[in-house]
Structure 1
Amino acid sequence: MSEARSAGAGEGPLAGKRVMVPETRELEVLARMLERHGAEALRCPLVAIVDAPDPAPVEAWLRRFVATPPDDLILLTGEGLSRLLGLAQRAGIEAEFRAALAGVRRITRGPKPQARLRSIGLGSDLAAAEPTTAGVIASLAAEDLRGRRVGVQLYPDNPNHALLDFLRGAGAEPDPVLPYAYATREDDARVLAMLEEMAAGRIDLAVFTSTPQVRRLSGLATPERLREAFAQTRLAAVGPLVGEALEAAGGRVAVMPAESFHMKPMVNAILSAMGAPPDVRA
């Protein structure tokens, strides 16, 4: 298991609490938020994000997007847009991609793609009421999509047949792209050691922020051992999709933000569960 960096830990509502953080994209951000409230943050990143192993289909999608922009673009993750921008830059067509992106209707699932759009001076034209695939479908259900070409940014381990089938059924022509992949980060022995710590009751809280983290654990441990580890550890989920994955793996979610499923509400939900006031700086 990754060693904790406990500088600043020891004071605050989370003092004395050992919190396992398997976050990858924003591990340090989340860990430092928790440490600021006294927690001992145990860093154990379970997955890493890498570019698509074969960039050719992604570059072809980008060039198609630039040459004949779709009517709509559905962005499911902020990471996906970042990867598309990165590959467009390496292909020498970033300016053209950004210009085309500004001219299409941008549909987002959740706060991260919205934030990434804002970082390049754009906004979301239609934000799903719920940050899920079902939320995107519900937001589009009343729209007339007949004859519309719709770019769909997918994410790993989820071909999202539900969304693509909905679009086709509504008369649209979806054009999906998968710009990144997940790779394992920590070696199996260290992950199993972390599970032993959980099963022994030596970790007070495990904070899960993505479904691939749960799948990594499920792929390494027996269902019985995983349920034992979950039974001895309080579990926090950043949102309903992660919560459902934990429940399916035999866990019971004790902490989850009521809305706005990202880091700041996650930390405040943890503080609330501990009976502490929210941190406006989190």
Structure 2
Amino acid sequence: MAITAGGDLGAGDLAGKRILVPESRDLDLFAGMMEQHGAETIRCPMVKILDLDDPAPARQWLETLLGEGFDDIVLLTGEGLRRLMKVARAIDREADTVAAIGRARVFVRGPKPVKALREIGCTPYRSAPAPTTDGVIAALATEDLAGRRVGVQLYPDNPNEPLLDAVRARGGLPVAVTPYRYANDSETGAVQAAIREMAEGRIDFVAFTASPQVRRLHEVADACGLGDAFREGFARTRIAAVGPVVAEAVEAAGGTVAVSPETTFHMKPLVNAIRKLLADGAG
């Protein structure tokens, strides 16, 4: 159920609520947003974003961008662009890379790659109507890509053949790159403890900000013989999802999303959506 943030929200409206926070990169920021409204947070970072062990694929993609060039670029994540720019700096081609991106039509999945583009002085050509693969495909559906080279930035653990096939179907020549990798961040013991607390009804919300967090929780449960506890906990704990991609991962894992922002898929709107759900009497 999507809830729009708003209404009469009080400063301590999360008081007495225990919220599991699987965020990694912005853990302190996200947990602090909820703690300032009275929540008790259980910090359990689950996924860390790292540079590639071998940056050669990212360098090769950049060499194509800087050589033949891309007519179009598809950015799925802001992190992807930032990691590519890090590689560009390492080979002393940062300014050239920014210029080459500026010459291309850039399609973005959502607000995070828009923000990353603005950081380097660029703007998107078109944003997806929804921050999902289907949304990007919809944004491309009216474009004639015949003979156009299309640089496609993917994210780890998802080769996204539907997106690449959609580019080919429009006549484009996709060149894909995955410029970073995921690593498990939290100790397995901490994840196991979180699963047990969910099953025991000791956690009021779990607030997911990325789909790999959901997969990590499920993987630990399966690996440690906690499948029943995971299913019980996932069924009884209210789940907050930052956006539709995360919501899909929750549903794939057998959960139901209780609350999600309707349009702006960031941490602050997610916190406000949780607050509004409680203020509306669902607490």
Q: 1:273 aligns with which of 271, 277, 280?
A: 277
C-alpha RMSD of the superposition: 1.2
For residues 52 and 259 of structure 1, what CA distance do their matches in structure 2 show?
32
1:232 and 2:236 matched: yes
1:256 and 2:260 matched: yes
For residues 267 and 193 of structure 2, what CA distance do their matches in structure 1 show?
26
Question: SS of 1:274's equivalent?
Answer: helix
| Range 222-231 or range 266-275, more displaced | 222-231
Deviation for aligned residue 1:241: 1.6
Relative to the length of structure 1, the TM-score reads 0.91
Deviation for aligned residue 1:252: 1.4
For residues 100 and 270 of structure 1, what CA distance do their matches in structure 2 show?
41
Partner of 2:121: 121
Deviation for aligned residue 1:15: 0.8
Unmatched runs of 5 consecutive residues or more in structure 1: 1-10, 277-282
Unmatched runs of 5 consecutive residues or more in structure 2: 1-10
* AA in 1 matched with 2:162: A
Deviation for aligned residue 1:225: 2.2
* AA in 1 matched with 2:86: G
Partner of 1:132: 132
Partner of 2:247: 243
Higher RCO structure (Cα 8 Å, ≥6 apart):
2
- Maintained 8 Å contact 2:196/2:230: no
Deviation for aligned residue 1:267: 1.3
* AA in 1 matched with 2:247: G
For residues 248 and 39 of structure 2, what CA distance do their matches in structure 1 show?
26
Relative to the length of structure 2, the TM-score reads 0.91
* AA in 2 matched with 1:158: N
For residues 113 and 224 of structure 1, what CA distance do their matches in structure 2 show?
38
Question: SS of 1:116's equivalent?
Answer: helix
Counterparts of residues 176-215 of structure 1 (less than 5 Å): 176-215=176-215
For residues 203 and 121 of structure 2, what CA distance do their matches in structure 1 show?
42
Q: Which runs of 4+ in 1 moved over 4 A?
A: none
1:57 and 2:57 matched: yes
| Range 240-249 or range 109-118, more displaced | 240-249
Partner of 1:36: 36
| Range 152-161 or range 55-64, more displaced | 55-64
| Range 153-162 or range 33-42, more displaced | 33-42
Deviation for aligned residue 1:224: 2.4
Deviation for aligned residue 1:199: 1.0
Deviation for aligned residue 1:227: 1.1
- Maintained 8 Å contact 1:226/1:249: no
- Maintained 8 Å contact 2:146/2:172: yes
